[in-house]
Amino acid sequence: MTVLHLADDGEAADLAAFLARLIHYDRGAAVRLQTTGTALAVFGRPPSFEVLAVRAVRLAKPYEDGLDARLDRTVSAGELLESVDEPAATAGVPAVVTGPPWTGVLPPRGGWLPEPGLPAPDALRAAVAAAVAEFRSRTEELDPERRTRTALDGIGREIWSRAVGATELPVRAVHAAQSLGFLRPAPRVSGGDAPPGLFSAGAWLRLRTPYGSVALRRAGLGTFSVTVR
């Protein structure tokens, strides 16, 4: 098995935590791995949120496997998690699996432009908490005979599709970022905190934080773009 050498045990721990959260939402989750230089991008799609989640992992050295200088493979998230050795800061690359359709449709790598109107981190977390509370309250108010899957899904779609602040970003994308551990308080960096940022590229929106990103198509333009890799 090919072994990836991660930058340190912290990177290994963060990768393991990200994979564990994906598996929480889908025990059979697959992830797509791509390397560029000393960076590994791990793409996943938690089904509850209809977004693509991206976790960037720093490598101790560029990927190489014989003559292959770049990794691009879809693997089992569970098998990858089992291969992570946090003390050694390594991860084995499992065998290729037949990935779901989303693994062939990824956001563009470049061309991202900043979008205005994103609320502060505390306000983002408050928006998610308010949405969760509203969903719980409205569903609990339903009579038992009206508490059907269709009714619950309808309430959920209404709440989670609302835009955050003066942006086109739906609340569900922020909820995904928080549930995946991307909205933790930002670490101190040179010049101050690194807050979340909102970016766009064509039909795509991307919420980027120091811990990872979530990407999705703008409302009304479908779930995925035609950027096939």
Location of each CATH 3.10.150 domain in the chain: 3-104
Q: In angstroms, rounded to a whole number, what is the distance separating the alpha carbons of residues 70 and 65?
A: 8
More confident residue, 78 or 220: 78
**Considering the entire predicted model, what is its pTM?**
0.88
Give 160-163's long-range contacts (Cβ < 8 A, gap of 24+). 160/131, 161/219, 162/131, 163/219
Which pLDDT value is given to residue 186?
59
With b meaning 16 or more CB within 10 Å and e meaning fewer, what string describes 68-86? eeebebbbbbbbbbebbeb
Q: If one looks up domain 3-104 in CATH, what number appears?
A: 3.10.150
**Residue 138 CB-half CA count within 13 A:** 16
- The model's confidence at residue 48, banded by pLDDT at 50, 70 and 90, is confident
Which pLDDT value is given to residue 194?
73
Distances (CA, A) of 28 to 77, 97, 108, 144: 7, 11, 26, 32
Q: In angstroms, rounded to a whole number, what is the distance separating the alpha carbons of residues 14 and 175?
A: 19
Q: In angstroms, rounded to a whole number, what is the distance separating the alpha carbons of residues 137 and 12?
A: 39
Q: Does the pLDDT at position 11 exceed 90?
A: yes
Which pLDDT value is given to residue 190?
43
Q: Where are the beta strands (DSSP E) in 30-147?
A: 30-36, 39-44, 52-58, 72-76, 90-92, 113-114
pLDDT in tens, 205-226: 999 999 999 999 886 544 443 3
Beta strands 90-92 and 30-36, pairing class? unpaired
Q: In angstroms, rounded to a whole number, what is the distance separating the alpha carbons of residues 117 and 104?
A: 31
pLDDT in tens, 124-134: 999 999 999 99
Q: Does the pLDDT at position 167 exceed 70?
A: yes
pLDDT in tens, 133-159: 999 999 999 988 888 989 998 999 999
Which pLDDT value is given to residue 187?
56
